[in-house]
Amino acid sequence: MIKPQKIDDVTFVELVHMEPQGPDTFVAIAPRYPWGRLFGGQVVAQALRAAQLSVDPDFHVHSFHSYFIRGGTSSEPVRLEVDRIRNGRSFITRRVVARQSNGAILNMAASFQKFEDAVDVQAFSPPDVGSPTDGIDDGWGSMIDRYKFDLEPGRQATWLRLLSEPLPDRQIKACALAFLSDAIMTGPARTVHPDNLSREDQRERYMGASLDHALYFHRPTEPTEWMLADVSSMGLRGSRGLSFGKIFDDNGTHLASVVQEVLMRELTRPS
């Protein structure tokens, strides 16, 4: 039985460690977070790791699309079930469902590609915001170092990195980027709200949650080194906010692109 631990007492490698529970089925830990339910980036990273374990190591993830179905709890481990949708010569497709006793908490489709020696073109450059510590310290816990810059309404830049010992391989590094990518997307959606909500305002007045999360991997990454995320909100509609982001390394190389839709539903107040 895997016992729950505080997130500050867990390493990232432990977070994405998978215990086999039968063919293409795994169990992973569900540590306790200060706010209660599980961090979505954790479940995304675990689902990606489960998918990786069913794929030949010559193939690397190039994208995944995931839907958060319900909030996870630290009172029990996360069960991850992998479906081998397709094995091709160049691409491999996997579906992963993360479950707890109350049902599915996340559904992911991930695609893997064997390396192809082809053109490499970068179309974007990062914003010039200075060094990480020039921003507002917005880190949390013992895993994420994060500094925020408000560039304009609806657009934020964030320096971030994983606080960890060097990670063992490219697969775990991809999981770490997936984990971090869920920590940069909600701020721009808040800033375009007519009430210009702070994080505290949102928690008190709104029900907030990530609805879906997609990540496109362009180049290999070192997530324990500083990366700069440039994220913009596309607006709000139907209690949903959509954000697009680009993630660069500290040399300006475009590592990944990320898309997320968040729920911002105002709580019903008694009259």
Enumerate the CATH 3.10.129.10 domain ranges in the chain, comma separated: 7-114, 132-266
DSSP state for residue 132 in the 8-state scheme: G
**Predicted confidence pLDDT, tens digits, the chain (271 residues):** 445 688 889 999 999 999 999 999 999 999 998 877 899 999 999 999 999 999 999 999 999 999 999 999 999 999 999 999 999 999 999 999 999 999 999 999 999 999 999 999 999 999 999 999 999 998 888 899 999 999 998 999 999 999 999 999 999 999 999 999 999 998 898 888 777 666 666 667 777 789 999 999 999 999 999 999 999 999 999 889 999 999 999 999 999 999 999 988 887 754 4
Q: How far is CA 113 from CA 14, 57, 86, in A?
A: 26, 10, 12
Name the CATH topology of 7-114: Thiol Ester Dehydrase; Chain A (3.10.129)
Class of domain 132-266: alpha beta
Q: How far apart are CA 181 and CA 63, in angstroms?
A: 13
